[in-house]
């Protein structure tokens, strides 16, 4: 793409907000199952010309979980519903390769791409938490095996998306030919983990392939992204770390013969916006005051993969082996604790606020500056915006920060196309020649 | 329920119509992936006060398949989208217990029940066609094993739907309690086929449980229905057969301690409506003329479970063992061929027109009479209406037949409630006492 490089923005949508205590703010609406709230918030993001709405997902629940994840809509049905109340904004949902079936996944995202006229995206995850297996009558595979499965899973899905030529469904009433037999391709995939014949029972979708997002930042995660993804969602704490990740990822992309620009790197960040730096800090403190160690610790422990009950919360994070299951997140949090000399309590609070993502605190200009610094400094091609609570946390961002980015020519003032692929500046994939 | 017995009506929605050649009619719109058509048609059914829209499903494709099934929306995402463009009508989709996971299924239907404010229904099938297994890296289980799996699958789903009390999500900003720990129930299911811990990550849905429909009419199929279903969808060719099935099913229901009225039996039927009987017959002949043996035979063969290429199409159906995989449908078609002395060609044409469901041919009054005869004669509590093509085939029915049923006091003129459960006259299931 020769067009000017612009920041991409995702709205990371969570019913009860991203800060663990966000829902307790007097202005917060907490709606895990409140479709009306999610609809309004998605429309706010669309009005601000965001690239996409983004839904994370998990397959477990419990009262100790982050309130946004105790109970929520099933993401694919939610995305289909959001397709009907929005026009232009992309629609991304998370679906696991460890707990899914390629045929179902290929079909559901294609279906959403049809329903939304070309706005669907699949966030590919391998599922971090081993307890998920308890809901699926199986055991949780090891980290690297999960990625081996994911590599094959994604290939099957992409193959199924190419089952039919774009013009296969001719529906000729005179000749009686509904689907042209010369334009169907039987996948006949048989490999280590999957055997999937095809063809898929849905026409090729408006985008050709729905957009592929990858979230998981270890070496194997980056390899999967470099080979298959259009967008990488990642958690990065500091500019330097983000730059290192960005470089590592783009090098892998180029090594595989793709262009560095073919993959957009989008770290998550949690904006806390004030008229002054002090007002922003006070806002965060207001939210943090509602977070006690009891609610914060499980969030830290599940991301570190170790129980910390035997350690002094006001002492340093002990030296613990990096959990293989959780690799990139466990490394990130350990590095953060070491770098900033955080106690367990401080680290737990940080996770409760941003779950390992960067927290941007400041005035609108300061936040725009930081975003520009990351963008110009090749730490990010865009950001997955994580408002601490809804809808106000998003409105602050769209009303106060977005106009600054637009004035600086860093962010669109209008959509130039109608598909997510257009927003990302990506060409429609051709059918593989036979 | 002490209220007056009334006919229940489902609209069996298929993009390219139900008659295999319906889409070739000059007035037909053929839209497997045409959401706008499906939306309009669903709204017509809602205006006519139908109980529900019904989506069948399959997990294979091929150019020889019925045009409505070569390519279609994934049903759960389609249902979520239809929820946003309708208000009162129930929304039923098929999902297989043989190719699904209870946690995913429970969650998706609960999500649709929330999105539609209480209108979701799950049509439980075990999947007839063994070739489906080729898309799922496994082998197709035997008929009775499929039902054994289904029995346990449905129990897990119902258990997961009761994970949370209706008032569990208190979201108290002062106390900081989002979900009341006393109101969550961990299922901890461990049995022959599934081990699913729970709880489900979505609140209990508006209907308590989405409505359960069962389709599969063998003995094991009826047992599953008698124990778990609210509605039974079935294919019946003659009044006598339908009465026998109705009786058999209701006896099983009562034997299990449920009330006969707790389960509505709804055979499918394909209405072909004319101003005169002759006009109706001509209409069907017009559609049938477009059906050649080449397109009809695969539909018959897959329902009989045998290749018929070695037999004279103008001779009788040979004596073939009933395919165990397809039991009830293979029995029904064999009985039909014997009773009416049909040749293979005639039987294939019949299947191409109605796929084993009853074809009602006649004037609006004749069709209303037939429906009343089945309803009063305890052959049916309602019908799944299968227009030969869309939208005209449905409009004929809603404009010409529905008013007659309403005049006779057999069908509602207004919805009395807003949930599918209300339309069916069923109480909301209480939570099991602990
Ligand atoms: C930024 C980010 C977002 C993620 N989002 C999800 C998610 O929504 N659901 C999920 O099950 N796993 C999610 N994961 C987990 C990954 O898919 C993966 O299983 C885990 O991070 C371990 O892989 P890694 O070491 O490559 O990061 C996410 C990971 C990252 C880094
Ligand atoms: C009226 C009816 C509708 C059915 N609809 C579907 C369907 O939409 N998708 C599917 O995979 N199987 C469907 N089935 C197949 C059944 O789930 C079952 O696998 C098959 O009929 C064999 O069981 P039986 O002998 O009990 O009928 C249907 C069966 C009947 C009788």
pLDDT digits (tens, 9 = 90+) for A145-162: 999 999 999 999 999 999
Per-residue pLDDT at B33: 79
Instruction: Provide the ipTM.
Output: 0.97
For position B388, what pLDDT does the model report? 97
pLDDT attached to residue A324: 80
* Partner residues linked to A190 by β-bridges: A195
Residue A398 has pLDDT above 60, yes or no: yes
The count of other CB atoms within 10 Å of the CB of residue A179 is 24
- All residues at 6 or more sequence positions from B278 whose CB lies less than 8 Å from its CB, including other chains: none
Does B359 score more than 50 pLDDT?
A: yes
Residue A3: the pLDDT is: 64
pLDDT in tens, A46-100: 999 999 999 999 999 999 999 999 999 999 999 999 999 999 999 999 999 999 9
Q: Is the pLDDT of residue B2 over 60?
A: no
Dist. CA B103 → ligand 2 center (Å): 22
Give the tens place of pLDDT for each residue, A99-127: 999 999 999 999 999 999 999 999 999 99
pLDDT at A434: 59
A135 closest CB neighbour out of B24, B58, B196: B196
- Kindly report the nearest CA distance between residue A33 and chain B, in angstroms: 7
Contact (Cβ atoms closer than 8 angstroms) between residue B60 and residue A160: no
The alpha carbon of B221 and the centre of ligand 2 are apart by a number of angstroms equal to: 9
Cβ–ligand 1 contact at A233 (below 6 Å): yes
Is the pLDDT assigned to residue A301 strictly greater than 60?
Answer: yes
Question: Is the pLDDT reported for residue A144 higher than 80?
Answer: yes
Query: What integer is the mean pLDDT of A262-287?
Result: 97
Neighbouring residues of A285: CB distance < 8 A, sequence distance ≥ 6? none
Residue B403 C-alpha, separation from nearest chain A C-alpha, in angstroms = 32
Q: Which of B308, B202, B83 is nearest to A75 (CA)?
A: B202
Distance from CA of B185 to the nearest CA of A (A): 10
Site to probe by mutation for ligand 1, drawn from A60, A75, A128 as the one with most ligand atoms within 8 Å of Cβ, is A128
Q: Test B115 with A198 for CB contact under 8 angstroms.
A: no
Q: Which of A65, A143, A57 is nearest to A322 (CA)?
A: A143
Quick one: B20 exposed, middle or buried, by C-beta within 10 A (0-12, 13-18, 19+)?
buried
Contact A167, B19 (CB under 8 A): no
On the question of pLDDT at A352 being above 70, the answer is yes
- Structure token digits, residue A150: 């994911």
Residue A202's closest CA among A323, A313, A108, A85? A108
For residue A12, the cross-strand partners are: A54
What value does the mean pLDDT of chain A take?
95
Q: What percent of chain A has pLDDT over 90?
A: 93
- Measure B168 CA to ligand 1 centroid, in angstroms: 29
**By CA distance, what is A115's nearest residue in B?**
B35
The pLDDT > 90 percentage for chain B reads 93
Please say if the pLDDT value at position A360 is more than 60.
Answer: yes
Ligand at minimal distance from the CA of B354 is 2
Query: For residue A366, what are the contacts with CB-CB under 8 A and spacing of at least 6?
Result: A277, A360
Task: Map tokens 């037939």 to a residue.
Answer: B370
Given this model, what pLDDT does residue A30 score? 84
Instruction: Report the pLDDT averaged over residues A354-372.
Output: 96
Ligand at minimal distance from the CA of A354 is: 1
Measuring from atom 21 of ligand 1, which residue has the nearest CA? A216
Report whether pLDDT(A307) > 50: yes
CA distance A108 to B76: 8
Is residue A266 lining ligand 1, measured as CB closer than 6 Å? no
Angle formed by the axes of helices B75-83 and A102-115, to 10°?
A: 30
- Rounded to a whole number of angstroms, the distance from the CA of A200 to the nearest CA of chain B is 6
Q: The dihedral of CA B340, B343, B346, B350: what is its sign?
A: positive
Of A62, A71, A181, the CB nearest to B63: A181
Furthest-apart CA atoms within chain B: distance in Å:
79
pLDDT of residue B434 exceeding 70: no
What are the pLDDT digits (tens) for A169-200?
999 999 999 999 999 999 999 999 999 999 99
Is A81 within 8 Å of B84 when comparing Cβ atoms? Answer: yes
pLDDT at residue B30, rounded to an integer:
84
Q: Which ligand is nearest to the CA of B96?
A: 2
Cα angle vertex B362, ends B361, B367, to 5°? Answer: 90
- B114–A72 CB contact, under 8 Å: no
pLDDT for A379 equals 98
Q: Do A71 and B202 touch (CB under 8 A)?
A: yes
Q: For ligand 1, is residue A66 a contact (CB within 6 Å)? A: no
What domains can be seen in chain B, in order of their start residue? 8-276+357-423 (3.20.20.30)
Return the HEC string of chain B: CCCCCCCEEEEECCCCCCCCCHHHCCCCCCCCCCHHHHHHHHHHHHHCCCCEEEECCCCCCCCCCCHHHHCCCCHHHHHHHHHCCCCCCEEEEEEECCCCCHHHHHHHHHHHHHHCCCCEEEEEECCCCHHHHHHCCCCCCCHHHHHHHHHHHHHHHHHHHCCECCCCCCCECCCCECCCHHHECCCCEECCCCEECCCCCCCCECCECCEEEEECCCHHHHHHHHHHCCEEEECCCCHHHHHHHHHHHHHHHHHCCCCHHHCEEEEEEEEEECCCHHHHHHHHHHHHHCCCHHHHHHHHHHHHCCCCCCCCCCCECCCCCCCCCCHHHHHHHHHHHHHHCCEHHHHHHHHHHHCCCEEEEECHHHHHHHHHHHHHCCCCCEEEECCCCCCHHHHHHHHHHHHHHHHCCCCCCCCCCCCHHHHCCCCCCCCCCC
| Number of residues written out for chain B | 434
Mean pLDDT across the stretch B289-317? 93
Which residues in chain A touch residue B193, judged by CB atoms under 8 angstroms apart? 137
| Beta carbons of A71 and B26 less than 8 Å apart | no
Is any atom of ligand 1 closer than 6 Å to the C-beta of A363? no
**Residue B318 vs residues A141, A239, A434, B152, B248: alpha-carbon distances, Å:** 51, 76, 42, 37, 29
Q: Cβ(A390) to ligand 1 under 6 A?
A: no
**pLDDT for position B334:** 94
Rounded alpha-carbon distances, angstroms, from residue A18 to A53, B171, B236: 14, 15, 54
Three-class DSSP labels, chain A? CCCCCCCEEEEECCCCCCCCCHHHCCCCCCCCCCHHHHHHHHHHHHHCCCCEEEECCCCCCCCCCCHHHHCCCCHHHHHHHHHCCCCCCEEEEEEECCCCCHHHHHHHHHHHHHHCCCCEEEEEECCCCHHHHHHCCCCCCCHHHHHHHHHHHHHHHHHHHCCECCCCCCCECCCCECCCHHHECCCCEECCCCEECCCCCCCCECCECCEEEEECCCHHHHHHHHHHCCEEEECCCCHHHHHHHHHHHHHHHHHCCCCHHHCEEEEEEEEEECCCHHHHHHHHHHHHHCCCHHHHHHHHHHHHCCCCCCCCCCCECCCCCCCCCCHHHHHHHHHHHHHHCCEHHHHHHHHHHHCCCEEEEECHHHHHHHHHHHHHCCCCCEEEECCCCCCHHHHHHHHHHHHHHHHCCCCCCCCCCCCHHHHCCCCCCCCCCC
Closest ligand to Cα A125: 1
pLDDT in the model for residue A1: 43
pLDDT of B3: 63
CA distance B111 to chain A (A): 5
What backbone phi and psi angles, to 5 degrees, belong to B189? -80, 130
Q: How far apart are CA A390 and CA A18, in angstroms?
A: 9
- Is B94 a pocket residue for ligand 2 (Cβ < 6 Å)? yes
**pTM confidence score:** 0.97
Q: Do B71 and A203 touch (CB under 8 A)?
A: yes
Helix A102-115 crosses helix A75-83 at what angle (to 10 degrees)?
A: 20
Q: Which long-range contacts (CB under 8 A, 24 or more apart) does B216-221 make?
A: B216/B124, B216/B125, B216/B126, B216/B147, B216/B328, B217/B245, B217/B328, B217/B329, B217/B332, B218/B143, B218/B147, B218/B327, B218/B328, B220/B143, B220/B144, B220/B147, B221/B126, B221/B147, B221/B328
**Average pLDDT of every residue of chain B:** 95
pLDDT in tens, A3-36: 689 999 999 999 999 999 999 999 999 877 799 9
Cα gap A342→A237, rounded to integer Å: 14
- Least CA distance to A25: which residue of chain B? B173
Closest CA to A106 of A138, A153, A38, A173: A153
Residues B98-102, mean pLDDT to the nearest whole number:
98
Residues of chain B positioned with their CB less than 8 A from the CB of A79: 77
* CB-closest option in B24, B197, B201 to A72: B201
Partner residue opposite A74 with nearest CB, options B35, B108, B176: B108
For A194, the token pair is: 């999957």
């Amino acid at each position: 793409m020769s067009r000017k490089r612009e920041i991409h923005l995702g709205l990371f949508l969570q019913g009860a907000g991203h800060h663990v205590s966000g829902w307790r703010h007097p202005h917060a609406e907490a709606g895990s199952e409140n479709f009306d709230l999610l609809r309004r918030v998605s429309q706010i993001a669309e009005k601000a010309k965001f690239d996409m709405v983004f839904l994370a997902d998990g397959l477990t629940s419990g009262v100790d979980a982050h309130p946004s994840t105790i109970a929520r809509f099933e993401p694919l049905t939610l995305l289909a519903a959001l397709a009907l109340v929005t026009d232009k904004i992309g629609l991304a949902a998370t679906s696991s390769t460890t707990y899914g079936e390629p045929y179902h996944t290929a079909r559901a995202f294609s279906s959403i791409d049809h329903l939304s006229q070309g706005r669907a995206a699949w966030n590919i995850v391998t599922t971090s938490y081993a307890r998920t297996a308890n809901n699926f009558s199986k055991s949780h595979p090891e980290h690297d095996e999960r990625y081996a499965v994911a590599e094959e899973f994604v290939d099957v899905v992409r193959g199924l998306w190419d089952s039919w030529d774009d013009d296969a469904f001719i529906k000729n009433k005179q000749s009686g030919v509904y689907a042209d037999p010369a334009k169907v391709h039987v996948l006949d995939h048989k490999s280590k983990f999957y055997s999937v014949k095809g063809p898929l029972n849905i026409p090729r979708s408006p985008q050709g392939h729905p957009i592929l997002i990858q979230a998981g930042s270890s070496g194997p995660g980056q390899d999967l992204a470099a080979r298959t993804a259009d967008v990488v969602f990642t958690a990065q704490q500091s500019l330097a770390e983000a730059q290192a990740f960005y470089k590592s990822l783009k090098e892998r992309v180029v090594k595989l013969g793709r262009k560095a620009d073919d993959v957009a790197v989008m770290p998550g960040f949690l904006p806390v916006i004030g008229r002054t730096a002090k007002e922003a800090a006070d806002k965060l403190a207001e939210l943090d005051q509602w977070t006690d160690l009891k609610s914060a610790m499980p969030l830290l422990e599940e991301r570190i993969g170790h129980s910390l009950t035997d350690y002094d919360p006001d002492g340093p994070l002990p030296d613990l082996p990096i959990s293989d299951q959780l690799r990139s997140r466990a490394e990130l949090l350990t590095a953060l604790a070491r770098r900033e000399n955080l106690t367990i309590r401080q680290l737990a609070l940080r996770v409760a606020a941003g779950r390992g993502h960067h927290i941007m605190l400041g005035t609108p200009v300061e936040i725009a500056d930081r975003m520009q610094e990351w963008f110009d400094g090749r730490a990010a091609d865009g950001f997955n915006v994580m408002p601490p609570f809804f809808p106000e946390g998003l409105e602050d961002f769209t009303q106060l920060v977005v106009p600054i980015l637009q004035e600086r020519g860093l962010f669109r003032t209008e959509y130039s196309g109608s598909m997510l692929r257009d927003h990302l500046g990506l060409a429609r994939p051709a059918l593989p020649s036979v």
